[in-house]
C-alpha cells in the first residue's frame, strides 16, 4: 500500500511536466508573435508596442499622383488643401464636393503649407534644385514670393506664430557637414536662425503658448524640443533631443490644442503622438502598412473645432502608385490659431 512519502516523486515529476509544458507553450506563442512581426516590412519597434494605438481608415483615393502627397491644411470654409509634390499641384477636397485641382505651380514642388491672414503659404523645392516660400490667395491666384530662391534655403515646412511671423525648416543634407536648420521669418521680413547644423530639417510645430518649438531632423531620426527665450533664441538649457526614432523617418508634424505633438513617419505608414514634454504616448496606424501599402506618410491636419485627423499618404511609387486620404481620431482637438 503506498505511503504519503511515496507520492512525492510522482508529484514532483507532474509539477516539472507542467512547468515544461507552460514554458514551451509561452515560448511557442512568443516565437509565433515574433514570426508574425517579422513578416511585416514595418514591424512596430518593441519600445513602441505598448503605446495607445488607433487605426486610421481610408476616406478617399487620390488619382494621378506623381509620387508623394504633402502639406494638408484646413481653410475657414472647410476645405482641405494639400499638394501632389512632384506633380507641382495644389489639390482641394471636401466630403460633399470631392477632389479638385486648386492650382499648378510652375517650376515648384510644393511641400509643407500654412494658412495665415486669408492666404496660403507654401514651402517648396524648385525643379532646378533650389527652394522658396510663396504665398497666394486661397483660390490659388495672386502668387507672391515670400522667401525667394536666391536666399539659398531648401524650405520644407512652415508654421506661424501669433505675431504674424513664421518658422520654417531648411532641408539641406550633408551627413558629414550638416547645413540644414530651422529659421524665423519676422513680420518685417528678416530671417534669423533658431537651430542650425541639422541633417535635413523637416517637420516643424509650435506649442499652443508659442514658447516651445518642435523640429524634426529627418537625416538623424531626431525630434528636437526647443524652449524659446524669444522668437529667435533658445532659452539656456532649453534645447534637447526629446526622442530618437527607430526606422524611417520623421516628416511633417502638428500640435493640437492640448500640446500633443503628432509626427508623420515617412516609410512606416503611421503617425506617432507625443506628450507636450515629448514623451511617446500613442500611434495611429494606416491600413495596408503590413503589405507595404501607404508607407509614405508625410503629414496630417486636424479639422478646426474637432479631433478629426486627416492624413495624407502614398505607396511612394511613381505613377501609377496608390495615394489616399485617411482619417482617425486625434488625441486632442485642433489648435485653431495655426
Task: Give the whole-number percent of the chain exceeding pLDDT 70.
Answer: 88
Specify if 255 maps to a domain: yes
Tens of pLDDT along 49-91?
999 999 999 999 999 999 999 999 999 999 999 999 999 999 9
Residues pairing with 334 in the sheet: 256
Cell of 100: 479638385
Q: Which residue has the higher pLDDT, 183 or 19?
A: 183
Specify if 94 maps to a domain: yes
Instruction: Indicate the number of domains in the chain.
Output: 1
Q: CA–CA separation, 131 vs 202, rounded Å?
A: 13
Specify if 14 maps to a domain: no
Tens of pLDDT along 237-256?
999 999 999 999 999 999 99
Please check whether residue 155 is in contact with residue 123, taking contact to mean a CB–CB distance below 8 angstroms: yes
Specify if 314 maps to a domain: yes
Judge whether residue 318 has pLDDT over 90: no
Q: CA–CA separation, 251 vs 68, rounded Å?
A: 12
Residues 157, 170, 199, 251: which is the catalytic one?
251
Specify if 11 maps to a domain: no
Judge whether residue 260 has pLDDT over 50: yes
Q: What pLDDT score does 276 carry?
A: 97
Instruction: Report the CATH number at residue 151.
Output: 2.120.10.30
Q: What pLDDT score does 49 carry?
A: 97
Domain extent at residue 157: 50-329
Q: What pLDDT score does 174 carry?
A: 82
Judge whether residue 15 has pLDDT over 90: no
Judge whether residue 2 has pLDDT over 50: no
Tens of pLDDT along 110-142?
999 999 999 999 999 998 889 999 999 999 999
Ordered alpha helix ranges (H), the chain = 7-39
Q: What pLDDT score does 39 carry?
A: 87
Q: Which residue has the higher pLDDT, 119 or 319?
A: 119
Residue 137: its H or E element: strand 131-137
Specify if 72 maps to a domain: yes
Q: What pLDDT score does 37 carry?
A: 53
Q: What pLDDT score does 18 carry?
A: 37
- Taking only Cα atoms into account, the Rg of the chain, rounded to an integer number of angstroms, comes to 24
Please state, rounded to an integer, the average pLDDT across all residues of the chain: 90
Q: What pLDDT score does 212 carry?
A: 98
Q: Which residues lie closer than 8 Å to 122 by C-beta, 6 or more apart? A: 71, 83, 90, 105, 108, 110, 111, 112, 113, 133, 134, 135, 136, 158
Specify if 33 maps to a domain: no
Q: Which residue has the higher pLDDT, 6 or 325?
A: 325
Mean pLDDT of 168-195: 95
Specify if 166 maps to a domain: yes
Please check whether residue 203 is in contact with residue 221, taking contact to mean a CB–CB distance below 8 angstroms: no
Judge whether residue 154 has pLDDT over 60: yes
Q: What pLDDT score does 337 carry?
A: 58
* 190: annotated active-site residue: no
Judge whether residue 281 has pLDDT over 80: yes
Q: What pLDDT score does 298 carry?
A: 98
Task: Give the whole-number percent of the chain exceeding pLDDT 90.
Answer: 83
Amino acid at each position: 500500500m503506498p505511503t504519503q512519502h511515496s507520492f512525492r516523486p510522482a508529484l514532483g515529476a507532474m509539477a516539472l511536466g507542467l512547468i515544461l509544458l507552460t514554458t514551451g507553450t509561452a515560448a511557442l506563442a512568443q516565437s509565433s508573435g515574433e514570426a508574425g512581426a517579422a513578416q511585416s516590412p514595418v514591424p512596430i519597434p518593441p519600445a513602441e508596442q505598448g503605446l495607445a494605438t488607433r487605426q486610421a481608415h481610408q476616406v478617399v483615393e487620390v488619382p494621378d499622383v506623381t509620387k508623394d502627397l504633402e502639406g494638408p491644411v484646413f481653410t475657414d470654409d472647410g476645405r482641405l488643401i494639400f499638394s501632389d509634390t512632384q506633380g507641382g499641384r495644389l489639390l482641394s477636397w471636401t466630403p460633399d464636393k470631392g477632389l479638385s485641382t486648386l492650382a499648378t505651380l510652375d517650376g515648384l514642388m510644393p511641400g509643407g503649407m500654412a494658412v495665415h491672414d486669408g492666404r496660403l503659404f507654401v514651402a517648396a523645392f524648385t525643379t532646378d534644385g533650389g527652394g522658396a516660400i510663396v504665398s497666394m490667395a486661397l483660390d490659388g491666384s495672386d502668387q507672391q514670393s515670400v522667401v525667394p530662391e536666391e536666399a539659398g534655403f531648401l524650405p520644407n515646412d512652415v508654421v506661424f506664430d501669433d505675431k504674424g511671423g513664421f518658422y520654417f525648416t531648411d532641408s539641406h543634407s550633408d551627413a558629414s557637414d550638416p547645413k540644414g536648420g530651422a529659421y524665423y521669418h519676422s513680420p518685417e521680413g528678416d530671417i534669423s536662425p533658431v537651430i542650425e547644423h541639422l541633417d535635413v530639417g523637416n517637420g516643424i510645430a509650435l506649442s499652443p503658448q508659442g514658447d516651445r518649438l518642435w523640429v524634426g531632423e529627418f537625416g538623424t531620426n531626431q525630434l528636437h524640443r526647443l524652449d524659446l527665450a524669444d522668437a529667435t533664441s533658445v532659452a539656456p538649457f532649453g534645447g534637447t533631443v526629446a526622442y530618437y526614432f527607430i526606422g524611417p523617418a520623421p516628416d511633417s508634424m502638428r500640435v493640437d490644442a492640448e500640446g500633443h505633438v503628432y509626427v508623420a513617419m515617412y516609410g512606416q505608414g503611421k503617425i506617432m503622438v507625443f506628450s507636450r514634454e515629448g514623451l511617446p504616448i500613442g500611434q495611429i496606424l494606416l491600413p495596408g502598412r503590413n503589405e507595404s501599402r501607404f508607407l509614405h506618410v508625410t503629414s496630417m491636419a486636424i479639422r478646426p473645432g474637432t479631433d478629426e485627423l486627416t492624413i495624407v499618404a502614398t505607396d511612394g511609387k511613381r505613377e501609377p502608385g496608390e495615394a489616399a486620404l485617411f482619417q482617425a481620431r486625434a488625441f486632442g482637438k485642433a489648435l485653431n490659431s495655426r
